[in-house]
Structure 1
Amino acid sequence: MGNADLRELAALSTVSLDDVRGSVVAVDAHNWLYRYLTTTVRWTRDEVYTTADGEEVANLVGLVQGLPRFFEHDITPVFVFDGGVTELKDDEIESRREQKRKAKEKLEEALERGDKIEAARLESQTQRLTTVIQETSRELLDLLDVPYIEAPAEGEAQAAYMARRGDADYVGSEDYDTLLFGAPLTLRGLTSKGDPELMDLDATLEAHGITWEQLVDVGILCGTDFNPGVKGIGPKTALSAVKEHGDLWGVLDARGLHVEFADRIRDLFLDPPVTDEYEYDADIDPDVAAAREYVVDAWEVDPDEVARGFERIEESLVQTGLDRWT
């Protein structure tokens, strides 16, 4: 999920969604979905999004509640889904699995003692993007005519690549690693109620007098999804060291340090597996009636939980002149 230490170095400012009206945002789909998934699970009764067969599709509630923000501001989201997992990320994935396992154990204990508040908090921590969640998310996006792309590897790397090519105006993600992947402009907080944050790569580099490559070196020293970082080195120390010694290799040599697979990790940020074989239409034409039927009838989601979300989508389409669904 990226290293939050980079926040100390990132050039951040608050923007209004009206300021980005009419733009295209390449959304890190897994990041966005997970944010809504955990929130929905934590604050919503599980019977709202659980089928008679016990299948949990809280993602459908999250999508219906989250997509109106884009539509209401005439913003086209292009969801970018992760492809194959990078081998170097295996340790990070295993660490997350262990965290979820521990959370599940604590959840069972909380349920046994009747602590519903703690149980809700812990249940949100055990969520994962299951095969059903992956499939139903894509199917609902299809019905709402929201474009999505399958990345060959990291979704945020593909999204950053699209933004660098000019095929998207912004990347949408909570991860600070979008800076390391070279995303020119990232919108954070798209799953929150308030105004989003704008993270500017060029402004970040200019503020610290470094290159993109050097910023990646700083990130590697602090830690990324592909490596744990060097103990005792935070963002400010890493920045100072990289500026003093020129690059990651200079810092490692000067301090007698070693980062396993450092060259491969560096390449994963500077030259990640991406594809330019994609296309999408920014002029959406949602079938709201079919989408509602899919969510409520096919997947047994409580209609009251998604009613306002669908209403907002319908209202926004009329306001922007996209009322061809009627």
Structure 2
Amino acid sequence: MGIRGLNRLVAENAPKAIRSNEMKSFFGRKIAIDASMCLYQFLIAVRQQDGSSLTNDAGHTTSHLMGFFYRTIRMVGYGIKPCYVFDGKPPVMKGGELEKRLKRRQDAEEKATKAKEAGEAQELQKFQRRTVRVTREQNEEAKHLLRLMGIPYVEAPCEAESQCAELAKAGNVYGAASEDMDTLCYQPTVLLRNVTAAESRKLKIDQYDIKEVLKGFDMTIEEFVDMCILLGCDYCETIRGVGPVTATKLIRKYKSLEKIVDAIKQDPKSKFKVPDNWPYKEARELFLHPEVKPGSEINLKWEEPDVEGLVQFMVKENGFSEQRIRDGAAKLKKALKGGTQGRLDGFFKVSGSVSSGKKRTASDSKDKKKKRKTGRSRR
């Protein structure tokens, strides 16, 4: 679900924190991508003309494999080095949200059945997309495909978004890519949205700088997280009647949820009602101190693709075109080799050594001029 209304709030309060760039501008960048989000996207978006999922001869869904294979190749073709991060065990506090999602999926399944019986093709496709859920088998298939492609992945102990943020904070990657705005609460240096969809939908990649976000709101990270909990997150319900504008005003006035809760409870005329046993402190802890693998313990490696392994898995086991898979693997191999070039801005970051090098070059040229003059006078 993410955080309700956060994208609009950031645009209004911290416009300098957001930049939109074409995919080619991220050449040489390593990016941690929320794989679980990608799985949903690919299962929903990659479909046949009649709206049904792609399947192999055995009837098993292959939409996610097509999505990971071709969109990863496109990214690598732009010089991006992707690293995928898979969800681990969800926090206990997320159980309520997962139950809601299950209920929505069951409702969609019932409506899809009715639409099919009524012969309503458009309605059927709409509700079929809402019934999508990612299986453990599909997760494992995606990981197997990435291993064959030579693309690294990380299995998070808990939430994929928090692990992506940890990789960014630790310097393993440039930024964390996810569509969920709650990723900002985990403090990645940079949040990237539309990464996997940018090329296929001709979108630009939106980049959010967490320092500029906090600066624009004039809040500490603790205050920002409290505001996000007020807006509504996956971990707990919110205070009824508190919308985005009110949430921002309350945090700026009281600075913490504790003080907001006390103020509401002490005011008999307050129009707001705090939920019973509201676990906002636990939610805050999950955002500020998530369970992650330390970035210092993770070593990301991009390797040459296993072409014959890809042919075996994608062609012989899942029915894809052999020529297309071989062509894709060739592009991937070439792009991964070319992607070792790095970025110019990364080169010029070492300002001390570069500037001193320029000084030495200048002085060397002066010495050479003197030597040439001395040589001419002697002649």
Which of 126, 136, 142 lines up with 2:147 in the alignment?
142
Contact 2:32 2:176 in 1 (8 A): yes
Counterpart for residue 273 of structure 1: 291
Q: Distance in 2 between matches of 1:216 and 1:199?
A: 16
Which of 331, 334, 339 lines up with 1:318 in the alignment?
334
Q: Distance in 2 between matches of 1:104 and 1:42?
A: 19
Matches within 5 A, 1:9-158: 9-10=9-10, 11-41=17-47, 46=52, 49-158=54-163
Unaligned runs of 5+ in 1: none
How many residue pairs were aligned? Answer: 319
Q: Percentage identity across aligned positions?
A: 28
Which of 271, 276, 295 lines up with 2:314 in the alignment?
295
* 1:231-264 CA-partner distances (Å, limit 9, x unpaired): 2212221111111001111111112253511111
Counterpart for residue 261 of structure 1: 279
Counterpart for residue 285 of structure 1: 304
Cα displacement (A) at 1:289? 4.1
Contact 2:174 2:190 in 1 (8 A): yes
Counterpart for residue 234 of structure 2: 225
Which of 236, 244, 255 lines up with 2:253 in the alignment?
244
Counterpart for residue 209 of structure 1: 218
Cα 1:278/1:66, change in 2 over 3 Å: farther
Contact 1:71 1:313 in 2 (8 A): no
Contact 1:103 1:126 in 2 (8 A): yes
Give the TM-score, by structure 2 length: 0.78
Cα displacement (A) at 1:320? 5.4
Contact 1:103 1:122 in 2 (8 A): yes
Give the TM-score, by structure 1 length: 0.91
Higher mean displacement: 187-196 or 146-155: 187-196
Q: Confirm or deny that 1:161 pairs with 2:156.
A: no
Cα 1:189/1:129, change in 2 over 3 Å: same
Instruction: Give the SS at the match of 2:196.
Output: coil
Unaligned runs of 5+ in 2: 11-16, 266-272, 340-379
Contact 1:152 1:275 in 2 (8 A): yes
Q: Distance in 1 between matches of 2:183 and 2:32?
A: 11
Contact 1:43 1:120 in 2 (8 A): no
Cα displacement (A) at 1:90? 0.3
Q: 1:264 is matched by which residue type in structure 2?
A: E
Q: Distance in 2 between matches of 1:51 and 1:319?
A: 28
Q: Point out which structure has higher relative CO (alpha carbons under 8 A, 6+ apart).
A: 1
Instruction: Give the number of the structure whose residues are more often helix, by fraction.
Output: 2
* 1:244-295 CA-partner distances (Å, limit 9, x unpaired): 0011111111122535111110000000111127433443311234224312
Higher mean displacement: 36-45 or 85-94: 36-45
Alignment RMSD, CA only? 2.2
Cα 1:43/1:158, change in 2 over 3 Å: farther
Cα displacement (A) at 1:316? 5.1
Cα displacement (A) at 1:140? 0.2
